[in-house]
Chain A
Amino acid sequence: MAGRKRKWLAPAVTAAGILAAWEAAVRIYQIPLYVLPAPSAVLSSLGTEFPVLIRHAGVTVAEALAGMGLALFLAVLLGIIMDAFPGVKSGIYPVLVVTQTVPMIVLAPILIIYLGFGIAPKILTVVLMCFFPVAVSFTDAMGQMDEEYVHLVRSFGAGKWQAYRLVKIPAAVPALVSGLKVSATYSISGAVVGEWIGAQSGLGYYLLRVKNGYMLDKVFACVLMIVGLSLCMNGLIRLIQMAALPYMEKKH
């Protein structure tokens, strides 16, 4: 318990120190709001803007969840296909890695050209950001698992696809969850990037609007909201892991 307390204490002290220095600097040097808002100003606008932020956050979270769900489905499907057919893997896998190096900020406007200003290009932006970590961790875990497990179930009379259901997929699930934790953190940012390029609602749209109005306190409040939501998405995956994979908890 004491160790856990200490673990929290150090980053909390660091954050409090930075915030105090920031607040002091803004007050002492009388920095105007449109250059740098004080943490207290950010907090107070987070309070006043909260109903608006929540409304926009609802849109962003919906896009992030839809995108992540789609990314998960595609990653699992492609992962199994690549594992079952090594020829497909050697053809697709390197291409997959290269596509990941294209910056999302370049792709998002192109998606809007193709798919319009609706929700589709935002979801696709999230899919493109979340797919890679999930697909790579899942595929690698299946490729690296102990072949003896497969020999065992095959000798018991299981067919090729039964072996996937019984051993290969369950064995790769912990890695899949790790990949999901990474992509869950990305998912909100992905949706925000999509909204930034062109939207009528969502945190990205709100962010662009208040930035153009030089309301930096609201910009920071929105950033806080994005950080909070990203952490919540990560926490959501942790909760699912605890509920669905109890055997992973016992190892600690």
Chain B
Amino acid sequence: MKLEVSGLSFSYSDREVIKDLNFQIKEGEFVSILGASGCGKSTILKLLTGVRKPSSGKILVDGEEIKGMTGHFAYMPQNDLLFPWKNILDNVCLYGRIHGGLDQAREEAMKNMEAFGLGGYEKSYPSSLSGGMRQRAAFLRTALCQSDILLLDEPFGALDVITRGEMQDWLLSMRETMNRTVLLVTHDMDEAIYLSDRILILSGCSGITCELSPENPEGGRSREWLYSQGKLRQRIHREIMGRRLDENHL
């Protein structure tokens, strides 16, 4: 297993946000955690990166327990968080700058600029780019990390519907060429179905209540296939809403 999380709990000012969370991700797998807003999705990523400390539980990468900020994860936040004072090339080379391999990172970045739709914008500042381009730049910054696992925190949540769709198509095409282990956190059901090998449904303190593997028998993914997944969407909807109703009754 690439990543194993077992019995992970986290409390924030006496309120239990995450309780006894367990899941695993295989090498090269694309897994989504799907849940309603405020159910602790982003907190899970903060626990993995070490920004927050869990109250109990273990995180294992390649079978070894990790604690604190270890650099095993490349994190991509919801807002692009590009530095307005740096041009795009310097922004995407952040990892190289931190770990002392700037020239190599620049070379690597230049090779990828075209594929990320940023060709010719190396010297531009983030403020002159569109929302979609900024998000692609943020994604390139994450992809250029030497870390094993990419953590994407609602990466397209701040974009309009059309750009979001385009970015999802683009990420799907990148998935095959990159072959990285990815954990995506989202509240967008279609995004999760469209992109992931496995979907984990998170229902607040109840932890992961359901695990689904969307599959296209004809292989690959397409929008047509996505729109035909009515039953799967119904099931996810029922899972999330049902839990919410149960919790409200309690």
Contacts and interface: CB of A to CB of B under 8 A. Distances in A.
B81 A162 contact: no
Contacts of A167: 83
Contact of B98 (A146, A162, A247, A251): A162
Interface residues of A, number: 22
Contacts of A247: 84-85, 125, 127
B71 to A, nearest CB: 4
Most buried by A among B51, B127, B145: B51
Nearest to B45: A155
A25 interface: no
A154 interface: yes
Nearest to B78: A148
A166 B83 CA distance: 9
A170 B85 CA distance: 7
B131 interface: no
Interface residues of B, number: 25
A148 B98 CA distance: 17
Given A156-B75, A166-B98, A250 B83 contact: no
B53 interface: no
A62 interface: no
Nearest to B124: A250
A250 B127 contact: yes
Contacts of B77: 148, 151-152
Given A148-B79, A247-B127, A155 B85 contact: no
A167 B82 CA distance: 10
A198 B95 CA distance: 56
A155 B84 contact: no
Interface in A130-166: 146, 148-149, 151-158, 162, 166
B143 interface: no
Nearest to B97: A166
A59 interface: no
B180 interface: no
B69 interface: yes
A133 B228 CA distance: 62
15 contacts: A148-B79, A149-B81, A149-B83, A151-B51, A151-B75, A153-B94, A154-B50, A155-B49, A156-B75, A156-B94, A156-B145, A166-B97, A166-B98, A250-B125, A250-B128
Interface of A: 146, 148-149, 151-158, 162, 166-167, 170-171, 173, 245-247, 250-251
Give me the 8 closest cross-chain CB pairs, A-B, nearest first.
A155-B49, A157-B71, A155-B75, A247-B125, A158-B98, A151-B51, A170-B85, A152-B81
